[in-house]
Amino acid sequence: MVSSDGYIATNNHVVEKAEQIKVLLSDKREFKAKMIGADPKTDIAVIKIDGDNLPTIAWGDSDKLQVGEFAIAVGNPFGLNQTVTMGIISAVGRANVGIAEYEDFIQTDAAINPGNSGGALVNIRGEVIGINAAIFSQSGGYQGIGFAVPSNMVKAVMDSLIKSGKVIRGWLGVSIQQLNAELASQFGLKEARGALVNDVVKGSPAEKGGVQRGDVIISVNGKTIEDAAHLRNTIAQTPVGTKVKIKVIRDKKEKEIDVTIGELPKDIVKLNKGIERDEGDSYKNVFTSIKVENITPDITRQLELPSNTKGMIVAYVEPGSAAADAGLRRGDVIQEINKKRINNSADYKAVVSKIKKDDAVLLLINRRGNTLYLTITSE
């Protein structure tokens, strides 16, 4: 609870299917809560209880976190109320872990288990620095790797949901990719840091500002850009209409460009959007928690896949699901299901629709050029 009038931040996956939400405070008072808004793309939701002078927790600045500092996780693991565990910040800025569309996770070794989701990760001053969201585990329990949505992202999403009922994200209008050492050298960089622009959307803020294909974006308003995911999160959290200075490397020379951030279009095709499933695609099996999408040339370039790659790209895996526990990740290419070849959405639907609720499934996937088998058992 971050405001005395009852606004509460939690995870979207905690409350998204709830018919009724109740909040129990530490002093045993119980309140009915109402949903204010949710953002599945960051797995953040805002609920509210009615009251005055309610106890609150202060925001900490997640941008100032350093690896090695203490972190305290508070939650309700396995139904054990007000459980507190302690660890350290293991990493910051974790992305591409397949949990949410916008990922900038804090990684901690503070014990986080099923039931911790939506609880606070706090620093030694008692300030909330994140919302516990997921664990990486092969057993389903604590294995020393937990993830929390950073407080600055939570606060930005929460403020937008309270103000407008939705999240309005900034948009630059570029397609970007990760740098490796070889690419960095070719583009005149001493290290593989920044985001390489491989395409610019016509009429976008980037095009209007003068960003070009082949530019490497290394900073936004003086803030160093570590990688492609970092740029994406930075732009998304920048208010629409903000004028920013973008520093790029072009032809091995630094250049500064002024760009006015636009609003992310609703109809823009994104990898994470996946198939918009109607009732006919609501599979009652282990595939319920998975969203997939046809492989397009844009996705092939983004994920650096061979141009002839066949299959269905995994756009989203529900946190805590059987598929997630099996190790399926966003960006994996499903090429076989139960030894049946998958070339397109028609193949996928035909095979998946015949799988029963309790059936185990054998997948052959391609993960950035490497093939491996995964077995998903029923939840």
CATH code of the region 1-166: 2.40.10.120
- Residue from 288, 268, 271, 269 nearest 102 by CA: 271
48: tokens are: 């509210």
pLDDT interval class at 281 (50, 70, 90)? very low
Q: How far apart are alpha carbons 72 and 371 in whole angstroms?
A: 38
Q: Please identify which of the residues 13, 62, 104, 160 carries the catalytic annotation.
A: 13
Comparing CA positions, the residue from 183, 91, 98 lying closest to residue 136 is 98
Q: pLDDT for 127-145, tens place per residue? A: 999 999 887 765 666 778 8
Asked if the domains at 1-166 and 271-376 fall in one CATH topology, the answer is no
Task: Find the Cα–Cα–Cα–Cα dihedral 304, 305, 308, 309, rounded to 10°.
Answer: -160
43, 109, 332, 347: which one is catalytic? 43
Buried b (16+ CB within 10 A) or exposed e, 110-126: bbbbbbbbbbbbbbeee
Q: Which helix (H) or strand (E) holds 228?
A: helix 228-236
State pLDDT tens for residues 208-248. 999 998 899 999 999 999 998 899 999 998 999 999 999 99
Which one of the listed residues 39, 104, 109, 117 is annotated catalytic? 117
Give the list of residues 6+ apart from residue 244 with CB closer than 8 angstroms, or none.
Answer: 220, 221, 238, 258, 259, 260, 261
pLDDT at 267: 56
190-199 per-position pLDDT tens digit: 899 999 888 7
Say whether 321 is catalytic. no
Give the angle subtended at the CA of 224 by the CAs of 319 and 252, to the nearest 5°. Answer: 120
The Cα–Cα gap between 2 and 5 comes to 9
Please tell me the CATH code under which domain 170-263 is placed. 2.30.42.10
Q: For residue range 339-360, what is the model confidence (pLDDT) as tens digits?
A: 899 999 999 999 998 988 888 8
Q: What are phi and psi of 265, to 5 degrees?
A: -65, 145
* Catalytic-residue membership of 13: yes
In this prediction, residues 144-152 reach a mean pLDDT of 92
Residue 135 corresponds to which tokens in the numbers above?
């664990």
For domain 271-376, the question of CATH label 2.30.42.10 is answered with: yes
Greater pLDDT, 18 or 378? 18
Domain ranges of the chain: 1-166, 170-263, 271-376
With contact defined as beta carbons under 8 Å apart, do 147 and 94 qualify?
yes
Which pLDDT does position 223 carry in this prediction?
93
Check if the beta carbon of residue 167 is closer than 8 Å to that of residue 56. Answer: no
Report the range of poorest mean pLDDT among 265-269, 273-277, 312-316, 319-323. 273-277
Of 117, 120, 133, 115, whose CA–CA distance to 55 is shortest? 120
* Residue-wise pLDDT tens digits, 19-47: 899 998 888 899 999 999 999 889 999 99
In DSSP terms, 128 is beta-bridged to: 59, 122
Handedness of CA 37, 9, 240, 199 (dihedral sign): negative
- Give 154: exposed, middle or buried? Use CB within 10 Å, 0-12, 13-18, 19+: buried
Full-model pTM: 0.63
User: 255 has which bridge partners?
Assistant: 248
Token digits for 290? 């998975």
Per-residue confidence (pLDDT) for residue 238, from 0 to 100 = 92
Q: What DSSP designation does 59 have?
A: B
Tell me: pLDDT of 327 over 70: yes
